[in-house]
Amino acid sequence: MLKLKGAGKIFSTNNGKIKALENVNLTVARGEFLSLVGPSGCGKTTVLNIIAGLEKASSGKVYKEGREITGAGPDRIVMFQEPALFPWLRVIDNVEYGMKIAGVSKKERRERAMHYLKMVHLTRFAHHFTHELSGGMRQRVALSRALAMNSDILLMDEPFAALDSQTRRILHTELQQIWCATKKTIIFVTHNVEEAVLLADRVIVMAADPGRIKKEYRVNLARPRAPEHAGLIRIVNQIMKELKEEVEKVARSEYDSGWSLQKSAFLLSPDSNVGGNI
């Protein structure tokens, strides 16, 4: 079980201090699939980094199984937006990297690496160098590298954002299957609401300036889920409505006064006089 208690983060920049996160309280149950969505700059990645131990919270505390988190560790593997594979290693050695650091024997390392490469259907490319792979394949290698660590918590920071929609869809299915098979706790950061609802048990909507939790939604739909499912679309629309306000707030602050709120959703189409001659 993972617990954030009053977590806050302040970044000091040359132009003063920026309050990135304020009083975030969050409890994640074991084996839960949680998504964090929000407009850019709402601190969702910061929350993930604090849980990962890659960044320190300016205030508040983070607990895992009742113990405070003080630094990064292999019990909370992070998967980043870019694959971040090591170009000097072959695919299989990349997957084995974390296990090598942990001191797993060579034979077991290889077996586990092959097992997880099989899970993402890349055993054929085990002995290739990473630059010989496509973007989607690289991200799949990164996924199997993260899975191979056998950590109970997997933190994913917009891992599929840079991929084309077909590849992303395949990876959504794979990730759901993997989650069902491994029962890991997954925290998934994304700006894509459909993706969040499709994957998660619970979706946390965050607001910006300062970054905080705005609302949370439970997604009680059967798995495997398809993006066309009506119940899913209904939740997506609810969250979208909630987010719209936030996105506009961020846009206004980023575009200064040049941004004007959309006044009406009414389209002035040539058909607007339909029925005028009755």
User: Using CB under 8 A, which of 43, 98, 136, 159 touches other proteins?
Assistant: 98
269 neighbors 256 (Cβ within 8 angstroms): no
User: Using CB under 8 A, which of 18, 54, 161, 170 touches other proteins?
Assistant: 54
Helix (H) or strand (E) holding 48: helix 44-52
Residues 6 or more apart whose Cβ sits within 8 Å of residue 250: 39, 40, 41, 42, 208, 209
**Shortest separation between residue 273's beta carbon and other proteins, angstroms:** 57
Regarding 136 and contact with other proteins (CB under 8 A), the answer is no
According to DSSP, residue 129 is labeled B
- Give the Cα-Cα-Cα angle 199, 191, 44 (nearest 5 degrees): 95
Q: Which stretch binds other proteins (CB under 8 A): 66-74, 182-190, 215-223, 265-273?
A: 66-74
Strands 76-79 and 153-157: parallel
Regarding 76 and contact with other proteins (CB under 8 A), the answer is yes
Strands 2-13 and 59-64: antiparallel
Regarding 18 and contact with other proteins (CB under 8 A), the answer is no
Regarding 11 and contact with other proteins (CB under 8 A), the answer is no
Regarding 87 and contact with other proteins (CB under 8 A), the answer is yes
Regarding 67 and contact with other proteins (CB under 8 A), the answer is no
Regarding 131 and contact with other proteins (CB under 8 A), the answer is yes
Q: Is 88 or 266 the residue whose CB approaches other proteins more closely?
A: 88
Per the DSSP assignment, residues forming a β-bridge with 64 are 2, 67
Regarding 91 and contact with other proteins (CB under 8 A), the answer is no
User: Using CB under 8 A, which of 30, 40, 56, 86 touches other proteins?
Assistant: 86
Regarding 102 and contact with other proteins (CB under 8 A), the answer is yes
Residues 6 or more apart whose Cβ sits within 8 Å of residue 179: 33, 186, 199
CA 105 – CA 149 distance, rounded (Å) = 13
User: Using CB under 8 A, which of 10, 84, 161, 247 touches other proteins?
Assistant: 84
Question: Buried b vs exposed e over 31-53: b needs ≥16 C-beta within 10 Å?
Answer: ebbbbbbbbebbbbbbbbbbbbb
Regarding 130 and contact with other proteins (CB under 8 A), the answer is yes
Q: Which stretch binds other proteins (CB under 8 A): 5-13, 110-118, 128-136, 171-179?
A: 128-136
Q: Which residues bind other proteins (CB under 8 A)?
A: 52-54, 71-74, 76-78, 80, 82, 84, 86-89, 97-98, 100-102, 129-132, 149
